[in-house]
Amino acid sequence: MNLVIVESPTKAKTLAKFLGGEYKIEASFGHIRDLPKSKLGVDVDHDFEPQYVQIAKQKERTTELKKLAKMADKVYLATDPDREGEAIAWHIKQVLSAKDEVLRRIVFHEITEKAIKEAINHPRDLDMQLVDAQQARRILDRLVGYKLSPLLWKKIRKGLSAGRVQSVAVRLIVEKEREIQAFKNVEYWQIFADFKNGLTTQLKADISNTDQAKAIESDLNSAKYTVQSVEPKPFKRTPPAPFTTSTLQQIASNRLGWTAKRTMQIAQNLYEQGLITYHRTDSTNLADEAVSVAKEYISQKYGPEYTINTPRVFKTKSKVAQEAHEAIRPTDLNQITNLKSQATNRDELRLYELIWKRFLACQMAEVTGVTVTVTVTGQGEQQYKFEAKGETITFDGWYKISEKDTEENILPKIEVDQVLELEEIRTEQKFTQASARYNDASLIKTLEEMGIGRPSTYAPTLSTIQDRQYVEKVEKRFQPTAIGIAVNDFLMTNFANILDYEFTAKMEDSLDEIANGNEKWQPVIKDFYEPFAKKLESVTETAERVKIETEMTGDKCPTCQEGDVVVRTGKFGKFLSCSRYPDCIYKANYQNKTGQKCPTCGNGDVIIRKSRTGRTFYGCSNYPDCKFASWNKPKT
């Protein structure tokens, strides 16, 4: 009997379809060992030796795996093909105490019969460089978290914690909020000329105030209009690259409104069912065989004119992408039909369709078309220049299956020197706007561009900073809480290097160098820890306690009539309290009002609430008397 150990029961069930009765497939249910929760678990005086302990809830499972391993002729460790998967496999090996010739590592990036059997036929030793890189990350994060957290309890508030990557993410959100708060709106005006032939043009001019806009509008109403130029310009549009982890999370956020955590959970399900290739990747490479199959499918399904002669290759943006890995793609293009006809999980189907379309589109012909720029002169007391742009698609190419980024705008037939008859002049007052707050997509994109974090870290980072109430989501965008601002400012004042963007990116590079065998993990940790420990000691002695700013509601305390009602943040979120606490212990539920009245009862306020799963929805403040609830904010 041969024993194959994977992480999850779903993955085990899928592998069982391809392996015969001589293989017994068992799940480890993730990690079976970790650093202890109750203490640091890292011997900083002896080369940062980690002190791993068996995870309590995994004891029974570990005992079963040991028994099965003793009876097995071969033990294959088939955990995920990344650093964490390699580390899980290493921990399993340590617990099983099996000999190297018995225990072997197998790796595959898609759960298909061909990939599984190929892996079984080519087992390898554990890659200790990958294990060391993952171990270094775990120890580094443990040192930061377990050393800084007690300091935050002492200087700010009990129950707080710090983390290497998540603290940088909070810094980005805090800085964005301050940028928005400091932004000054600037007035400007746009003027449009609508003509009776259906052409709409925009004035090319900078207009900064009402008087200027009215003067120009008056002059334009009596002006004469002539077409100065009509310039057609052909264009080609190349499809985007197949999905990496970060781009999948970004598109799922923008198109489906999902969090990164939700996207990764559903992608994990798809991978373990054998429907997609491994979903934690920063590579845009595609296997030659997959590209060949895609070309044949495109030709048969849409016609040979939609295929390309030479396979399209995309440059991987990540400087540390592992070339052996692939982008995220379907394992079988024909499976889309079965999934649509079966009672498949709706979310799984939606994400699968995004992956399916992106993969096929990246190997389809370019979109071609013509952009036409029309320039119109308006001759009044002054001469004015107007412009209009139109677009016509001549061949839809990869648009055939993918959502268009732009819509066609077909201009009316028009010629140079043509005199146009004015229908209406429209003026619109505008104000410059601050850049938008981060959502899941834009925060992940920023972290990736800065080289902070890796594919496997984005989703847990975004979840952690919300769980710890350092940030909150308002209309799907991140805003820092008072606690988040206090922690960020304290860390920036006293540990600026830990929150430094370049420093954090370089630390990621060092972890990659460990994985590539170019550095040893202990010196990397030592170079970080020694100055960190000295700074920690100094700050503990000299830093003053930080006061968390409270949000004023404008109401007087109904209990003592002396203090003000303020918004505080506790373990379970925001609540109302008296500013004189602890002298006054008034406490009440906090309602995050949108400023709208309930569309159902008309009396209650529309408030932002959380579902049991943590998803934001809109409800009535008069609940349960009024049952209004909506995932979308009501229109005013």
Count of alpha carbons within 13 angstroms of residue 282, beta-carbon side: 19
Q: Which residue has the tokens 């030479």?
A: 310
Which architecture, in CATH terms, is 187-238+367-431? Distorted Sandwich (2.70)
Which architecture, in CATH terms, is 245-361? Orthogonal Bundle (1.10)
- The tens digit of pLDDT for each residue in 134-161 reads 999 999 999 999 999 999 999 998 888 8
The helix (H) or strand (E) run that includes residue 299 is helix 288-302
Active site residue 278: yes
For position 610, what pLDDT does the model report? 76
For position 343, what pLDDT does the model report? 59
For position 222, what pLDDT does the model report? 95
Is residue 589 within 8 A of residue 575, CB to CB? The reply is yes
Q: Rounded to the nearest 5°, which phi and psi values hold at 335?
A: -65, -20
What's 306's DSSP letter? G
Tally Cβ neighbours within 10 Å of residue 448.
22
**Greatest pairwise CA separation for the chain in angstroms:** 96
What is the distance between the alpha carbons of residues 173 and 462, in angstroms, rounded to a whole number?
Answer: 11
- The tens digit of pLDDT for each residue in 202-232 reads 999 999 999 999 999 999 999 999 999 999 9
Question: How does DSSP assign 214-258, residue by residue?
Answer: HHHHHHHHT-EEEEEEEEEEEEEEPPPPPB-HHHHHHHIIIII--
Structural domain boundaries in the chain: 2-126, 135-182+439-542, 187-238+367-431, 245-361, 552-630
For position 309, what pLDDT does the model report? 94
Q: Which two tokens stand for residue 207?
A: 């207009």
Tally Cβ neighbours within 10 Å of residue 436.
10
Q: What percent of the chain has pLDDT over 90?
A: 78
Reply yes or no: is the peptide bond before residue 582 cis, omega within 30 of 0.
yes
* CATH top-level class of 135-182+439-542: mainly alpha
Q: Which residue has the tokens 């069982």?
A: 16
- The tens digit of pLDDT for each residue in 372-384 reads 999 999 999 999 9
For position 323, what pLDDT does the model report? 44
The active-site residue out of 278, 458, 470, 529 is 278
For position 580, what pLDDT does the model report? 87
User: Which is it for strands 367-379 and 42-43: parallel, antiparallel or unpaired?
Assistant: unpaired
For position 99, what pLDDT does the model report? 78
Q: Which of 334, 366, 339 is nearest to 350 (CA)?
A: 339
The helix (H) or strand (E) run that includes residue 359 is helix 346-361
Q: How much is the pTM?
A: 0.87
Is residue 362 within 8 A of residue 314, CB to CB? The reply is yes
Q: Which two tokens stand for residue 627?
A: 């049952």
3-state secondary structure of 623: coil
For position 317, what pLDDT does the model report? 60
For position 361, what pLDDT does the model report? 97
User: Which is it for strands 103-105 and 74-77: parallel, antiparallel or unpaired?
Assistant: parallel
Given a cut of 70, the residues of the chain with pLDDT beneath it are 316-324, 343-344, 404-407, 571-572, 613-614, 636
For position 11, what pLDDT does the model report? 94
2-126 placed in CATH 3.40.50.140: yes
For position 122, what pLDDT does the model report? 95
Q: Which two tokens stand for residue 144?
A: 């930061």
